Amino acid sequence: MNLLNDATPLFDNRQKLTALIDAMDSQYNPENRMLTSPFSSPGYHTTIKQAPFIHSTRSSLAYALGLLDTEQEYNAQRAFDIIGQVVSLQDTDRSRSTFGIWSWFYEEPLDQMSPPDWNWADFCGKLLVLIISRHAERLPAELRKAVEQAICNACDAIIIRNIGPHYTNIAIMGAFVTLIAGELLERQNYAAYGLDRLAKLHAYTMPRQAFQEYNSPNYTYIAILELSAIVTETSNPQAKQLGNELLDIAWKSVADHYHASTQQWSGPHSRCYQTLLTPLNKAFLQMATGGRLAFYPESELLYNEGWYKCGAVCPEQYVEQFLHPAERTVRECFGVSGSGDEKWSTTYMTPAYSLGSFKKEIMWNQTRTLLAYVDNGGQATYLHLRALHDGYDYCSAIFHGEQRAGHVLFGVNFVVNGGDTHPNLDMIDGTIEASDFRLRLEVGGALEQIGKSVHKDQVKLQIGETALSLVTWFAAFSGQGEKPEPKEWRWEINEIDSGNDTSGNNKDSGSSILAIDLVIHSGEKRTIDFAKLEQAAFVFSLSIGDEAASFAPQVVQTAEQIEVSGDWHHEALALSLPLRPGKQ
């Protein structure tokens, strides 16, 4: 079933696409034959720090495909110009490690990136494959030949890199590029590789019924689009079957975690770029459920050119879960860590709130290790735990959690061999320079009707009709060779402008957030040598609901670790953390 066809009563597919493409007209730059976009950066890959605008290779190709998909002849020449320009920017030197990929931006060649992003063989390659699949006969002969060669280069780069099934969206996208390119260009070696790559992802995913990029609003969405594209484009029956079975896993995950009262995607999230669903996210869910999940009237429904003919539709058996608030628990083992430990997550939902947490996870800016959504008078208020180094999420902070229903006992400690702003691209040697270092429970979204108070080591919140309690059970951060000084650990609550957040996490939270902070250091820049710290660990509990303050555990400290244990509704609950920072 193809959701996005002209027979769908929800909206006119071609009309939506044409309106979107026409609205992008002013962004086209005829001088370099690319699309102009506002500059944004996650803080890695690109070395550009500030710029009023850039010209993105990926966005330009997506625009070119959209121009052709409108079937308007007056759009064709512009599309050809863009395609020719972007194809010319691909690295075609087989002696280089970047062969077959593109830089992110026209303004920044591959040699200036730090490092280049090899995913661009997949992202740009997919768009070129769709251009050939839908519009090959319309392309001028020389341009078609150049596009087909660029696709082959991208396929070769994808095969050389050979990403495994642990990197979900790239495993799928690379399978699409190679499988469909192989079919279109009659390259059996590409088609065989693509099918094998998809089969490996299937074999990896089916036993745990979850993707490695677990419960990711961004990447589950991409997985649905890419798997739907495979099912739509391939002529291979086995590929269709594998794709449909993986799509069922993806849609079940979305439905299981959707919180109807707040209209949010419950945590925890392994990778996420915004904590609240965007209007575009909601528009996709509305279209994929055939309008059963209704956020907007048709005239206000946003559209993305990547949805055109993609075939994305939510299976009927999961649609009802989106529509009705319910109490449920989702507890899943979704993978295995590098040390061989199972990776677990827990999500608990009631009509009033949802609460999700990982058992153990790094705290970088793409994870939501501890995340709650609360119904605040029909709007969503979120709570998101963060560890901040000079305002940016610190990857070498490690979250540990034990959750039972609406109560989670959790801790934070540190490793000496992790990353700073990124888990792989920005490694530390055990030390950082910091003028500010803190833990934060960030409260965002709807900030009206929130009552708040601090009582020594406890924070009490009242969000709408829901009570929450945050309690500190243990806090220590000392021992860099000096005699530790006694420190009174106390939460601070301040309403701050979200624009001051350098991590990019708050682009969706409105003009301000409530920052519930436990300050570890603030002031003069100092060196923190985690290898020399004798104690660096924190243990808290967060409780939501009527019995938010009824947990009274025992706290036992030894020379090596801290253990906090107690009963929660007659069920044992305990958490132990090493006091000294160690290795991952």
Task: State the pLDDT at residue 212.
Answer: 87
Query: Does position 110 have pLDDT exceeding 50, yes or no?
Result: yes
Q: 183-215, pLDDT tens digit by residue? A: 999 999 999 999 999 999 999 999 989 998 899
372 domain residue, yes or no: yes
Last residue of a domain, one of 131, 161, 191: 161
Task: State the pLDDT at residue 31.
Answer: 96
Contact 497, 263 (CB under 8 A): no
Query: Does position 84 have pLDDT exceeding 80, yes or no?
Result: yes
Task: State the pLDDT at residue 483.
Answer: 53
Query: Does position 82 have pLDDT exceeding 80, yes or no?
Result: yes
5 domain residue, yes or no: no
Question: Which residues does residue 347 pair with via DSSP β-bridges, in sequence order?
Answer: 330, 356
If we measure between CA atoms, which residue out of 202, 120, 130, 123 comes closest to residue 168? Answer: 202
Q: Could you give the residue ranges of the DSSP H alpha helices within 2-140?
A: 13-23, 57-69, 76-88, 120-135
Q: Are 453 and 500 contained in the same domain? A: yes
Q: Are 304 and 397 contained in the same domain? A: no
- Global confidence as pTM: 0.89
Q: Are 145 and 45 contained in the same domain? A: yes
Enclosing H/E stretch for 544 = strand 535-544
Q: Are 154 and 168 contained in the same domain? A: no
Contact 284, 10 (CB under 8 A): no
Question: What gap in Å lies between CA 1 and CA 247, rounded to an integer?
Answer: 13
Contact 387, 503 (CB under 8 A): no
Average pLDDT over residues 230-254: 98
Query: Does position 44 have pLDDT exceeding 90, yes or no?
Result: no
For 333, counting Cβ atoms within 10 Å of its Cβ (0-12 exposed, 13-18 middle, 19+ buried), the class is: middle
Task: State the pLDDT at residue 482.
Answer: 54
- Please provide the DSSP assignment of 138-194 as one string: GS-HHHHHHHHHHHHHHHHHHHHH---TTSHHHHHHHHHHHHHHHHHHT-HHHHHHH
Tally the domains of the chain.
Answer: 3
* Average per-residue pLDDT for the chain: 92
Q: Are 302 and 225 contained in the same domain? A: yes
266 domain residue, yes or no: no
88 domain residue, yes or no: yes
2 domain residue, yes or no: no
Q: Are 72 and 173 contained in the same domain? A: no
Q: Are 129 and 193 contained in the same domain? A: no
Separation in Å, CA 370 to CA 214, 276, 355, 487: 14, 14, 8, 26
Q: 4-17, pLDDT tens digit by residue? A: 333 344 567 889 99
Domain region containing 313: 162-258+271-324
Q: 458-467, pLDDT tens digit by residue? A: 999 999 999 9
Last residue of a domain, one of 114, 138, 161: 161
Query: Does position 335 have pLDDT exceeding 90, yes or no?
Result: no
Output the domain CATH number for residue 128: 1.50.10.10
Tokens linked to 534: 């004798």
Task: State the pLDDT at residue 533.
Answer: 95
Q: Are 358 and 212 contained in the same domain? A: no
10 domain residue, yes or no: no
Q: 142-163, pLDDT tens digit by residue? A: 999 999 999 999 999 999 999 9
Q: Are 48 and 108 contained in the same domain? A: yes
Our measurement of the distance from residue 404's CA atom to the centroid of its chain's CA atoms, rounded to an integer in Å, reads: 25
Q: Are 200 and 234 contained in the same domain? A: yes
Contact 547, 560 (CB under 8 A): no
Contact 516, 463 (CB under 8 A): no
Q: 285-316, pLDDT tens digit by residue? A: 999 999 999 999 988 999 999 999 999 999 99
584 domain residue, yes or no: no
318 domain residue, yes or no: yes
Q: Are 401 and 533 contained in the same domain? A: yes
If we measure between CA atoms, which residue out of 333, 391, 335, 401 comes closest to residue 365? Answer: 391
Last residue of a domain, one of 161, 192, 207: 161
Q: Are 401 and 475 contained in the same domain? A: yes
Task: State the pLDDT at residue 10.
Answer: 59
- Report the percentage of the chain scoring pLDDT > 90: 83
Enclosing H/E stretch for 228 = helix 217-233
